[in-house]
Structure 1
Amino acid sequence: MQAYFFDISAFMILLCLIYAFFLEKMHKIVENGVVLSSMICVLMASTLGVISYTKAFSAPQYRMLFSVTVNMLTALGIALMVIFVYRISVYNVGLLRYMVFVIIPCVVDIVFCIASSLSGSLTLLRVGYAGDLFMLMTGINILIIYKKNSSLERTLMLLIMFVIASVMTVVEMMHPEFEVQRFALALLIAEEFFCLKNPDEQYEPETGLLGMDNFRESMKRRFFYLEKHKDVSLYVVALAIHGAETFMKLLGDTNEIKLRENVIDELVRIANGTPIYRMSKGVYAFVMQEEGRNEAIRIQDSLNERFKSVFGKDAYEMEIHATTCCIELPEMADSFQALVDLVYMAAREGRMKSKAVIDVKKLDREHDRYVREVDEKVRNAVSAGNLEVYYQPIFSLKEKKFVSAEALIRLHDGDGFIPPDVFIPIAESNGSIIEIDEFVMQQVCRMISDRKIETLGLRYIEINLSVPDMIQEDLPDKLMRYVDIYHIHPSQINIEITETSADTFTGMVEENVRKLSRLGFNFTLDDFGTGYSSLSRIIMMPFDIIKMDKTLVQPPYSLEKERERRNAMTLLESSADMIHRVGSKTVAEGVETEEQLNKLKELDAEFIQGFYFARPMPESEFINVVKAKNKR
Structure 2
Amino acid sequence: MELKMMILDTRIQIVTICFFIIVYSDHIRNKKLPLLSNYFFSMMLFFTAGNLFFDLVKVYTIIYMDVVSPLINRLCNQLFYATLIMIVAFLFWYVEILGHNQKRMEWKKLTFSLLLLLFPMYMIVFGELNYYIEDNHVYAYGSMTDAFSLTVLIYGIMIIIDTFLYKDTIGKDNRFAIRLGVMVLIGGVVVQFFNHGLLTLGVTITLMILFIYLSLENPKEYVDEDTGTFNKRAFHLMMEEKKEADRSLILVSVVVDDLNKIQTMVGHDRTNHVLKIIGDQMNEVFQLEEHFHGKMMKQVYEFSMQHKRKKIRNTFLSSAYHTRSNVMTFLVEQPLESIQDQLNQLSMFIKEPITCSQYTIAIKAHIDVILTDVYKEQSSCDEVYEMMNYMANHNEARSDTNVHFLDEEIISQKMRYTTIENILRDAIANQGFDMVYQPIYHSKTGDFLSAEALVRLTDTTTVGFVSPEEFIPIAEKKGMIMELGQIVFEKVCAFARKKCLQEIGIEYIEVNLSGIQCMHPDLPSQLQKIMQKYEITPGFINLEITETAFVESGEMLQVNMHELRDMGCSFSMDDFGTGYSNLSRMAEVTYDLVKLDKSLIWPCFSEESGKANAILESVIRLLHQLNVKIVAEGVETEEMAIYLNEHGVTCLQGYYYSKPIGEEAYYNFLLNDQRGRLSLT
Q: What is the TM-score normalised by the length of structure 1?
A: 0.64
**C-alpha contact 1:158 1:191 (8 A) present in aligned 2:** no
Give me the whole-angstrom Cα distance separating, in 1, the residues matched to 2:432 and 2:321: 40
Task: Show the counterpart of 1:499.
Answer: 547
Aligned length: 524
Alignment of 1:57-456 (within 5 A): 150-152=103-105, 187=205, 190=208, 194=212, 198=216, 203=221, 214-222=234-242, 234-237=250-253, 271=279, 274-276=319-321, 278=323, 286-288=329-331, 293=343, 297=347, 325-327=367-369, 329=371, 332=374, 337=379, 341=383, 343-345=385-387, 347-348=389-390, 355=397, 359-361=405-407, 363-414=409-460, 417-456=465-504
Q: What displacement does 1:221 show?
A: 4.6
Residue number in structure 1 paired with 2:592: 544
1:440 deviation in Å? 1.3
Structure 1 residue 600 corresponds to structure 2 residue 644: yes
Aligned to 1:628: 672
Deviations 1:24-45 (A, max 9, x none): x998655599979996996799
- After TM superposition, the structure 1 = structure 2 runs for residues 544-583 of structure 1, keeping only pairs within 5 Å, are 544-557=592-605, 559=606, 562-563=607-608, 565-583=609-627
For residues 405 and 538 of structure 1, what CA distance do their matches in structure 2 show?
Answer: 24
SS of residue in 2 equivalent to 1:464: strand
Distance change (3 Å), C-alpha of 1:417 and 1:600: same
- The DSSP-based 3-state class of the residue aligned with 1:526 is strand
CA contact (8 A) 1:490 1:519 kept: yes
How far the C-alpha of 1:498 sits from its partner, in A, is 1.1
Measure the CA separation in 1 of the matches of 2:70 and 2:344.
Answer: 56
Shift of 1:577: 2.7
Map 1:457-468; keep pairs closer than 5 Å: 457-468=505-516
Give the drift of 1:524.
0.7
Answer yes or no: is 1:525 the counterpart of 2:570.
no
Report the residue type matching 2:216 in the other structure.
N
> How far apart in 2 are the matches of 1:262 and 1:479?
41
Q: In 2 relative to 1, CA 338–47 (structure 1 residues): closer, same or farther, beyond 3 Å? A: closer
Change (3 A) 1:298 1:376: farther
Counterpart Cα distance in 2 of 1:566 and 1:481? 49
**Conserved 8 A contact 1:402-1:626:** yes
Quickly say closer, same or farther: Cα 1:566–1:121, change in 2 above 3 A: farther
Relative to structure 1, the CA distance from residue 581 to residue 366 in structure 2 (aligned partners, 3 Å threshold; closer, same or farther) is same
Match of 1:612 in 2: 656
- Which deviates more from structure 2 when the two are superposed, residues 379-388 or residues 44-53? 44-53
- Distance change in 2, residues 1:541/1:195 (3 Å): same
Return the letter of the residue paired with 1:580.
Answer: H
> Is the CA contact 2:632–2:651 (under 8 Å) kept in the aligned structure 1?
yes
**C-alpha distance after superposition, 1:68-126 (max 9, x if no partner):** xxxxxxxxxxxxxxxxxxxxxxxxxxxxxxxxxxxxxxxxxxxxxxxx99x99969x98
CA distance 1:240–1:332, shift in 2 (3 Å): farther
Q: Which amino acid aligns with 1:215?
A: F
Contact 1:546-1:586 within 8 A present in 2 as well: yes
Distance 2:271 2:451 in 1: 40
In structure 2, relative to structure 1, the CA distance for the partners of 1:343 and 1:442 (3 Å cut) is: same
What displacement does 1:495 show? 0.5
Deviations 1:11-67 (A, max 9, x none): 559849968998xx998655599979996996799599769979xxxx99xxxxxxx
The aligned amino acid for 2:619 is S
Structure 1 unaligned runs (5+)?
61-115, 243-258, 307-321
- In 2, the alpha carbon distance for the partners of 1:197 and 1:509 equals 44
- Provide Cα deviations, 1:322-359, integer angstroms capped at 9, x if missing partner: 99752255675579758764553464466578737754
TM-score normalised to the size of structure 2? Answer: 0.60
Aligned residue identity for 2:646: E
User: Matches of 1:333 and 1:581 in 2, distance apart?
Assistant: 57
- 2:582 is aligned with 1:534: yes
**What SS does the corresponding residue of 1:327 show, helix, strand or coil?**
strand
State the Cα deviation string for residues 456-504 of structure 1 (Å, max 9, x = none).
2221111011122111111111111122222222111110011111222
1:448–1:234 distance in 2 versus 1, CA, 3 Å? closer
1:237 partner amino acid: S
Gaps of 5+ in 2: 132-138, 149-199, 259-266, 284-318, 334-338, 357-363
CA distance in structure 2 between the aligned counterparts of 1:288 and 1:579, rounded to whole angstroms: 55
C-alpha distance 569-406 of structure 1, shift in aligned 2 (>3 A)? same
**Which digits, 9 at most, give the CA deviation of each residue in 1:586-606, with x for residues without a partner?**
111111111111221232113
Structure 2: how far apart are the matches of 1:5 and 1:585? 94
TM-superposed deviation, 1:522: 0.9
> What SS is found at the alignment partner of 1:439?
helix
| Matched-pair contact (CA < 8 Å) for 2:16–2:203 | no
Post-superposition offset of 1:576: 2.3
Most deviating of 147-156 and 465-474: 147-156
Shift of 1:454: 2.8
Q: C-alpha deviations, 1:381-400, integer Å up to 9, x for none? A: 03334211111111112222
